[in-house]
Amino acid sequence: MSTVRIVTDSTADIPQDMREKLNIEIVPLKVLFGEESFLDGVTISPEQFYDKLTSSSMLPTTSQPSPVEFMETYDRILNESPDATIISIHLSSAVSGTYQSAVLGHSLLEREGDIVVYDSKSASFGIGMLVVKAAEMAAAGMSKEQILDAIETMNQDKRLYFLVDTLEYLQKGGRIGKAAALFGSILNIKPILTLDDGEVTAIDKVRGQKKAVLRILDLVAKDFGSDPVDMTLAWTTHNELALEMGEQAKARLQVRGTHHTKIGSVIGTHVGPGTVAIFINRVKG
Amino acid sequence: MLSKRFINGSDFTGMVHRGAECLQRNVERVNALNVFPVPDGDTGTNMNLTMTSGVQELVSKPSPAIGKVSEAFSKGLLMGARGNSGVILSQLFRGFSRSLAGQEEVNTLQLAAALQHGVDMAYKAVVKPVEGTILTVAKEAAKHAVSIARRTTDVVEMMREVHDKAYDALQRTPDLLPVLKQVGVVDSGGQGLVHIYEGFVLALGETGVTAGQGNTSANPTPTVTSPGERTGYTVFVPQQPSSAQSRLSTEAIEYLYDMEFFINRKLAGRMAAPFDEAAFKRALAKDGDSILVIADDEIIKVHVHSRKPGDVLNYALPYGELTDIHILNMREQHRGLLHEESIATDSQHISGSTRSIEDEALGMTVPEVLTGAPVDSVPVEQAHEWAPYGIIAVAMGQGISNIFLDNNVDIVLSGGQTMNPSTEDFVKAIEALHAQHIYLLPNNGNIILAAQQAVELCERNITVIPTRTVPQGLAAVLAFRDEETAPVNTDAMEQAAKQVRSGQVTHAVRDTTIDGIDIREGDFIGILEKSIVASSPDLQQSCRDLLSRMMEEGGELVTILTGEQADAAETSALSEWIESTYLDAELEVHAGGQPLYPYLFAVE
């Protein structure tokens, strides 16, 4: 029986303990402050990054891993277990070239290998939850087909919403997508953002953070009703609002498992300090 | 005593002039009848401006036939209608003129029927007619007219009876509308109508009417000489937004020629082609904007800003004879405006006929570029392709206007608490907006009817979201989404407007007691939605009392819009109080710039 190995990139924001336990291979993206380059989550931790982001006068830029880096990763895995099947799950192709790079990396590989590169059309733990699910199924000996089927279903069913403190970072990074023609800047308008078909989309807009949180909870309550769910709360710099949102969510949803994670430097570059996110997926009762 | 069995167009013209004059003389008095002792009581101003517009139209179409004259008067009222009382006034005379259509002169029976018809029309125009207002005054007067007409053939006597009955009904308005009684005033709109009727009687030669009964006038009633005599009276013309025009660069004027003319179908007789208004407007829109076409069976009034004035005249020619042609080069005019900041433009008119002296007197030379709307707020790109949606909002204050413009609003009509925009202001803004579906946000209870009246006059897809306050308007625009369908947007905007609590603070202009609150002149009064809930000589105290009421049911977000008169130290003290009192609420402070109201509050 062939083994299935799971590869993802650093934007999946999978906590360290999970990735070690589930043997997940992570290809880091890069974040650059001028000439200075860091590997996301490897040579720069989220804490270090946000310190630098708030203290540095220049805004960082980000870059995807090169195809060669993917090729080398796939090659190394196949050296370890030559009959392995690789499922490589990545950041939405609508906002990053990472997926494209992985596809190219596969084509550069000078050996036969069963590799599926999957466009999550998502970001942060929206990728992470698919990766964790896939890795758990792989550990349980499930087949490539079973895993792909399961993560596709999960991907359709999951919900993610995020709140940014300011749209400035999304605008500067050009990642604002359909949220672009949103609104003015005079009022403190909080767009409720999500990824729709991989693109950043504002599905609603409200004034004020508290109202925004209430609106998100209305949305998830409508989506999941009384079904049991797993919830992951994520943040860039401040966890208070995320934890508060989690507490309120528990009062309105049947939450089975709660996870916390920090949004890494690459996604952090594009959403900025003060961002919080909630990821929800249905689980079996 | 004079008596008259018939009145004709000239008689009626005289009556209208006198009516306008009486009303004009009592504007401040009518304004002061506002139920709330707020500094922006404006029923008198609104009715006066409405009346002025009626007079302008009437003067431009003199006729010996009462049918024609009242039709012109009605059309002018309809377009110039401002405020709820102005709209109701316009509807009263709309019904009146319809009833007299085609008549040369009329007797008491016909006149009474016309008054009654006007009342019927006005009641229909108002969604929820309230008794104890101008409606009641008009209704009782008309009812009386109908009964009087059965026993007298003297129009003068009947009109005097109508006036007296209207006056009686006015005195009883506090019995019908408790809030009037509480404050100790009669209805302001009803008072305005009584003044108009008073003028009618004066014009018909009946002297002494106000001395005996209608002693509401500040000045002793002037001795009336002859019927129909014209006396000079000043006309209140709203201030033009000249600064907005100054900001517009001369080169940015795309449709250079401001044209206004009439197509007279009657003069052309059977030669005139059937008038297809939609096709005509489409033709005008090819090289023009700010299109306004008002058509009746005989006369079509056309206004357009066009690149090709020759083409416009050619489009119009098949439909009838062209009269009163005015073509104005706006760039030339604008250069002049920038140069001297004055608006004297008569020499730039190419006139198809001599402009009447009355037009000058009535301030008709004011160039019109979206009266009241900042010109540069109309997005240029919309001139060429029609956007799915357009939003027109009414607002006072630069800060509030900017917030609206920053949040999907295309045109902000200046107005609100002090100067209410007229139906025509809405019509012009609508015509200037190249959008398939237009939303109107009146943002003031007294502007909703004028907005609704504009909808009826424009054959466009328009929805009035009946917002009564600026906070409601802001909530509504934020609920709007470009990609949604109109029914979804309408519903979302209406719901959003209902979910915000609105508060405003201003100073009292007289002593009164209302809703159990004693108010002294000069006090700061806090108004929650439609009720006064706080009054104090201390602004800070008044704001706190009002906000306490607003926060009774909780609130996640408090917004302060600071007015022209707000003081920075006062605002920061208030902010600190809010933040320390309502720990769970978020606070936002924005410069609204509105006059008279130091603070507007929104709680959501």
| Interface predicted TM-score of the whole assembly (ipTM), two decimals | 0.70
A187/B407 Cβ within 8 A: yes
Buried b (16+ CB within 10 A) or exposed e, A192-212: bbbbeebbbbbbbbbbbbbbb
Tokens of B488: 């979804």
**A240 vs B: CB within 8 A:** no
Cα B158–Cα B160–Cα B163 angle in degrees, nearest 5: 110
Q: Answer whether residue B251 shows pLDDT above 80.
A: no
pLDDT at B9 (0 to 100):
95
pLDDT digit string, tens, across residues B554-571: 888 999 999 999 999 999
Pick the CATH number of B7-212 from 1.25.40.340, 3.40.190.100, 1.20.1260.10, 2.40.50.100: 1.25.40.340
A211/B556 Cβ within 8 A: yes
Lowest mean pLDDT segment, chosen from B235-249, B325-339, B489-503:
B235-249
- Cα–Cα distance, A126 to B324 (Å, whole number): 69
Residue positions counted in chain B: 604
Domain B375-498 top-level CATH class: alpha beta
Lowest mean pLDDT segment, chosen from A127-136, A184-193, B7-16, B108-117:
A184-193
Whole-Å CA distances, A129 to A25, B144, B270 = 15, 80, 79
Q: Answer whether residue B15 shows pLDDT above 70.
A: yes
Q: Regarding predicted confidence, which is higher, A270 or B364?
A: A270
B588/A184 Cβ within 8 A: no
Q: Regarding predicted confidence, which is higher, A78 or B218?
A: A78
Instruction: Please report which helix (H) or strand (E) contains residue B463, including its range.
Output: strand B461-464
**A188 vs B: CB within 8 A:** yes
B407/A208 Cβ within 8 A: no
Domain A159-282 top-level CATH class: alpha beta
**Nearest alpha-carbon partner for B191 in B132, B238, B244:** B132
Q: Quick one: average pLDDT of A188-210? A: 85
pLDDT at B333 (0 to 100):
54
Q: Answer whether residue B242 shows pLDDT above 70.
A: no
In B, minimum Cα distance to A190 occurs at B478
Q: Quick one: average pLDDT of A180-206? A: 78
Q: Quick one: average pLDDT of B182-194? A: 91
pLDDT at B378 (0 to 100):
40
Q: Quick one: average pLDDT of B141-154? A: 95
Q: Quick one: average pLDDT of A228-255? A: 95
Q: Answer whether residue B156 shows pLDDT above 90.
A: yes
Task: Give me the sign of the Cα torsion angle A252, A256, A260, A261.
Answer: negative
pLDDT digit string, tens, across residues B95-123: 999 999 999 999 999 999 999 999 999 99
> Tokens 């489009």, residue?
B315
Q: Which residues of A touch B402 (CB under 8 A)?
A: 186
pLDDT digit string, tens, across residues B399-453: 999 999 988 899 999 886 667 899 999 999 999 998 999 999 999 998 999 999 9
| CA gyration radius, chain A | 19
Lowest mean pLDDT segment, chosen from A269-273, B65-69, B291-295, B595-599:
B291-295
User: 10 Å Cβ neighbour count for B481?
Assistant: 18
Instruction: Please report which helix (H) or strand (E) contains residue B323, including its range.
Output: strand B321-329
pLDDT at A252 (0 to 100):
94
pLDDT at A136 (0 to 100):
96
Q: Which of B9-23, B272-286, B351-365 is the most confident on average?
A: B9-23
Of chain A, the percentage scoring pLDDT greater than 90 comes to 68
A211/B478 Cβ within 8 A: no
A185/B403 Cβ within 8 A: no
Q: Which residues of B touch A185 (CB under 8 A)?
A: 406
pLDDT digit string, tens, across residues B302-330: 777 788 889 999 999 888 889 878 787 76
Show me where the domains of chain B are located: 7-212, 242-361, 375-498, 501-603
Q: Answer whether residue B234 shows pLDDT above 50.
A: no
Q: Answer whether residue B238 shows pLDDT above 50.
A: no
Grade residue B255 by pLDDT with cuts at 50, 70 and 90: confident
pLDDT at B268 (0 to 100):
79
SS3 category, B235: coil
pLDDT digit string, tens, across residues B366-408: 233 333 333 333 444 434 478 899 999 999 899 999 999 988 8
Pick the CATH number of B501-603 from 3.30.1180, 3.40.50, 3.30.1360, 3.30.160: 3.30.1180
pLDDT at B139 (0 to 100):
97
Grade residue A191 by pLDDT with cuts at 50, 70 and 90: confident
Q: Quick one: average pLDDT of A274-284? A: 94
pLDDT at B257 (0 to 100):
82
Of chain B, the percentage scoring pLDDT greater than 70 comes to 81
- Cα–Cα distance, B195 to A101 (Å, whole number): 82
- Cα–Cα distance, A258 to A249 (Å, whole number): 10
Show me where the domains of chain A are located: 4-29+65-156, 159-282
Q: Answer whether residue B291 shows pLDDT above 50.
A: yes
pLDDT at A185 (0 to 100):
63
pLDDT at A121 (0 to 100):
95
pLDDT at A71 (0 to 100):
93
Give the number of C-alpha atoms closer than 13 A to the C-alpha of residue A106, restricted to the C-beta side: 17
Fold of A4-29+65-156: Rossmann fold (3.40.50)
From chain B, which residues contact A within 8 Å (Cβ)? Answer: 402-403, 405-408, 474, 478, 482, 556-557, 559, 584-586, 588, 590, 604
pLDDT at B290 (0 to 100):
64
B408/A183 Cβ within 8 A: yes
